[in-house]
Every structure is written in C-alpha cells, then in structure tokens.
Structure 1
Amino acid sequence: MSNGIPGTDSRTAASARATAAASTAASAESPRPRTGGLSVLRIGLSRVGYETRMYFRTTDSVFFTFLFPFIMLAIFTAAFGASGNIGTAPDGSGGISVGAYYLPGMLAAGMLLSGVQNLAVDIAGEKGDGTLKRLGGTPLSPLSYFMGKIGQVLVTGIFQAALLILVARVLLGIDLPTEPEKWLTFAWVFLLGVITSAFLGIALSALPRSGKSATAVIIPIVLILQFISGVYLQFYVLPEWMQNLASVFPLKWMAQGMRGVFLPDSFASLEQTGAWEFPLIALNLAIWLVVGLVLSRVTFRWIRKDT
C-alpha cells in the first residue's frame, strides 16, 4: 500500500513556469505588495485559484491525495463487508457496516494527505526546481504564498470531503448523521484539521534535501501515522502503547473527531477513555496548528540554507 507520487518533476517544472508568470503579473499590478496589507491579501487570494488549478491539472497528485481515500474506502468495504457488521451485540444484532466504520478514518486521512503530504512534497519540489528561488526575487510576500497554498488545501479538502460523503451515502448506502450539532462538530473538526495539516505540510517541506527525495521522506511519515491513528486499523484493537504514541500526533485526534460525528454514540466506549472528548480534540489540534504555524514561518526559505 503506497501513497507515492510519481511524475513530481514534470509537475514542478510546469508549476515553475506558471508561478513565475503569475508573480510577475502580480508585481506589475502592485509595486510594493510586501508593505501593503490589502495587496498581500489580494495577491494571496488570487494565488488560491492558481494553486487549485495547478493541483487539478496534475493527475498523479489528484490520484494519490484526492482519490486515495475513495479507493481505500472501496477496498475495505469490499474486502471486509462479508464478515458482517462491526460492533454487533452477542446475539448478532446491531452494529454498523464496515464502510460506515471506516468512513471517518478516510475523511481524516484525506485531510492529512491534502495538507501534509501534498504541500510537503509540492513545496519541496518547488525548491528543487528553482521555483521558490525565482519567486524570492519578486515582490511576492511569503504570506501571500502561504495563503495560496493553504487556500488550495482548504478548497480541495472541502470538495474531497463532500464528494466522499456523497459517495458513501449514494453508492455504499451509509447512513449519515441527522442531528445539526453533529454537522457543526464536523465543520470545526474539519476546518481545524485541514488548516493544521496545511501548516504542518509547509513545515515538513523543509525536511527533504531535494525535490526528488521528497516522496521518500514524507510518504513513510504519513503512512505510519495512518496505520497507528485508527485510519486503516480499528483503533481500539491497537496495543495501548501504540494508542498513546498516536495520541501525540494530530491525525489520531482528527480521526477520533470524525468517529464522534459519524459513528453511533455507543462506539465512544471503544475509545481510550470511553468518550469522544471533543474539547481535548480541539485543544490538541489547536496546539498542533500553532506548532505548524511557528515551524512554517521559522523554517521557510525561498532557497535552502545549504544551497
């Protein structure tokens, strides 16, 4: 099971040309965008559209970050659906389908892939092919650049989650929550999780030494987190030490928040403390958001220090 993204070089080469052109145009329209708040905001918003278009034009990135949760949900449903419902009573009644149980994990995985994996690999590639070096020679503000990247993750993440929920309901027949408070919880867990993932993706982009090594460095991290955080494996069957380790990282809390939205309340007893712990989920995600924000600002460079 691999989340590798082939063809990164071709994508970053195209991104380099388009980004340089967009930045030149922005510079011509606004001579000093770094000092003008409105100009920074305007350029940042325009870059959201540019980054989103570039994302959907790159088929390998769309497949391995946008469509991957759909594929995994279909595989788990087909592979384990015949074994019966999860959480059934001793008499065989009750429980939920395999697809319904794995839907929250796939939603959380989509948030992580769209933010951490997509941005970390993408930005590392832009460093490797010289895109960021060229942007550093323009008046483009790092804040505008960040806005474009984070906005792209937010737009594509919303689209991915909506489509995944639609597929789960229409094609897999999974029952969705009917209580408004459940959907309100979904909204804040999703937004907090996506933005946190985006900042962490920007921060992790400083880790690979080159664009070519980005997938080899980032994907194992993302893959391990998915296995220990209740995405591919049922979280309650993992050993306690692994659950404790997963609790250090944000994906576990994103997956738990999504389980709290989409699973029956009786499944809360399977969590570590026997409850959904929404306040603790918000606290942990907020902490990681701040950590990601600080690391992004501290580690981000238009060019690598060792270049």
Structure 2
Amino acid sequence: MSAVATTTLPSPLKVGLSRTRLEVKQFFREREQLIFTFFFPIIFLAIFSAVFSGTDFSGGVTAATYFTPGMIASGIFLTSFQSLAITIAMERDEDLLKRLRGTPMSPQSYFIGKIGLVLTTSILQFGLLLAIAGLLLGVDIPTEPSKWLHFLWIFVLGTASGSVLGIAFSVVPKSGKAASAVVTPVVLLLQFISGVYFVYSSLPAWMRTVSEFFPLKWLAQGMRSVFLPDGYEVNEPGGSWQLGTGAIVLSIWLVVGLVVAQRVFRWTRRDAG
C-alpha cells in the first residue's frame, strides 16, 4: 500500500503574519493614505505650535510640548479606528472580504493582518512625529524608564481598543464610498472634545464630561502623563493623571469592541443578503 501524503496547513498566526506583510506593502503603495496617516498629526502639531507660541503654559511648557501627546493619541486613533473602519468597509463593498472568506485563510488570520498593519503604521508614525517634535520643535523627549513603561501599556491598550472598535464600526457605512463621510466626522468630534486640539482644562465642563465616556480622552490624557513634566498633573481638571481610571475605561472599550465586532461583523455587503 502506498503511503498517503498529508499536508500540514500553516497556523493562523503564520498566515496572519504573511497577511500583515501584504497589508503593509499595499498601505505604502497608497500615497494619499500614506501622506494623510503619517503627516496629518505632524502638520497639525506644527500649526498649533506656531499659533499658540505666545500662550503662557504653566511650568515652562511650550505649545509644541503640550500638544505633542494629543497628536500622538490622535495618530493612534487615526491608524486604528479610522483606518480600519474605512478600509474594511471599502473592502466589503468591493467584495474583497467575500472572496477572502472563500479561501482557506481563517478569519483570525485576516484580523491578525489588519492589527499587524495598525501596529506597524502606529509605531512608524510615532517615531516620525517624535523625531520631528524633538529635532525641529524643541520638544523634550522623556528619558525616565518609568514614563516609557507607562507609554507602552497606554499605547497597547489604545491601539487594541481603537482597532476592535474600528472593526465593529466598519459595518455602519452603507457603502465603501460613504465610509469616509461617516467615519471622519466621528473622529473629528472626538478629537475636539478630548483635548487634542485645545488645552483640555479650558474646555467647557459639559464637554469634558461627555469626553470621559470615550477612549480618545483617556488615551490623550495618558500620553500627557508621559510627555509633560512631573507635577503638571495639577493642571488637569481632576488634579491627577487618573491612569488607573484610564486603564479601566480603555479596557472596557476593548472588551465592548470585541463583543460587538463578533456579533455585527459582516463579510458581505448588506444587499448581498
């Protein structure tokens, strides 16, 4: 009797990592998306640094230093929530998801690829923004290991929660063409009320209360704890960085996003039945 050859299929993780490489290559081929993702926060940081250069921030903090944490948080939210919500909606509308669903690739591998893309672009964007902020705008880069440990868990929680929420929100646009029109205003609204474009303590109390229900506020506040001087937390409305509360809120959004994404995610367009 001849031996029956058996083929061992690669693990979902291995396929997902291969999918990540493909996603990254495709991302860098899209010039418009590349420029928007990497240079939008940097351009805004430069603008705000110039506009508020004469503003008196307590503790000797410059405008560039104050707005850098918000731009980092905004960049993370753009590369995770906004990017995934728009691109997945477009891929669904173009029947790309339907075709991928018909291949041996598991859903886990597809999502590993998307999250791998988010991590890659977020790290590159952060590195570029920090280099320009430090070299050209005079922002003091933290050197304390404890601050970078804070940055690590804030970055991971913020990226993870933004990614799963983006996957879940991708079902909201009725078509790929409408995705940007639906997703972008939501992101802009959160940026305005979360202290990205304004000094957070100067916002109306009701606006700060609303922002506390959403992850971007806690992501921006956590980043301020990393990049602003020790003791600057007294200028926050609550008088502290509230890192514990921020970790809880981001974790809740991560769990909510996972549950909702599992329940509502679609591989086909709505009109496909």
1:86 corresponding residue in structure 2? 57
CA contact (8 A) 1:250 1:285 kept: yes
TM-score normalised by length of structure 2: 0.94
Aligned with 1:265: secondary structure? coil
Check whether the contact 1:65–1:117 (CA below 8 A) recurs between aligned residues: no
Match of 2:28 among 48, 56, 63: 56
Equivalent in the alignment of 1:250: 215
Q: Name which structure has the greater RCO, CA cutoff 8 Å, separation 6+.
A: 2
List per-residue Cα deviations over 1:66-124 (Å, max 9, x = no partner). Answer: 2210110011112221x14412xxxxxx4211000000000000000000111110000
Instruction: Tell me how far apart the structure 2 counterparts of residues 302 and 84 of structure 1 sit (CA, whole Å).
Output: 50
1:270 pairs with 2:232:
no
Q: Which residue of 1 aligns with 2:3?
A: none
Is residue 231 from structure 1 mapped to residue 196 from structure 2 by the alignment? Answer: yes
| Corresponding residue number in structure 2 for 1:24 | none
**Given the alignment of the two structures, is residue 120 of structure 1 paired with residue 91 of structure 2, yes or no?**
no
Uncovered stretches (5+) of structure 1, i.e. residues with no partner = 1-29, 88-93
The amino acid that maps onto 1:44 is G
Pairing 1:95-174 to 2, within 5 Å after superposition:
95-174=60-139
For the residues of structure 2 that align with 1:99 and 1:249, how far apart are their CA atoms?
Answer: 25
1:48 counterpart SS class: helix
Rounded to whole Å, the distance in 2 between the matches of 1:251 and 1:41 is: 29
Mapped partners of 1:57, 1:273: distance in 2: 44
SS of 1:285's partner is helix
Which of 271, 288, 296 in structure 1 is aligned with 2:261?
A: 296
Cα deviation for residue 265 of structure 1 reads: 2.7
Shift of 1:178: 2.1
Q: Does 1:65 align with 2:37?
A: yes
RMSD: 1.5
**Distance across 2 between alignment mates of 1:113 and 1:201:** 10
Aligned residues: 267
What percentage of residue pairs aligned between the two structures are identical? 51
1:42 and 2:7 aligned? no
Contact 1:154/1:195 (<8 A) preserved: no
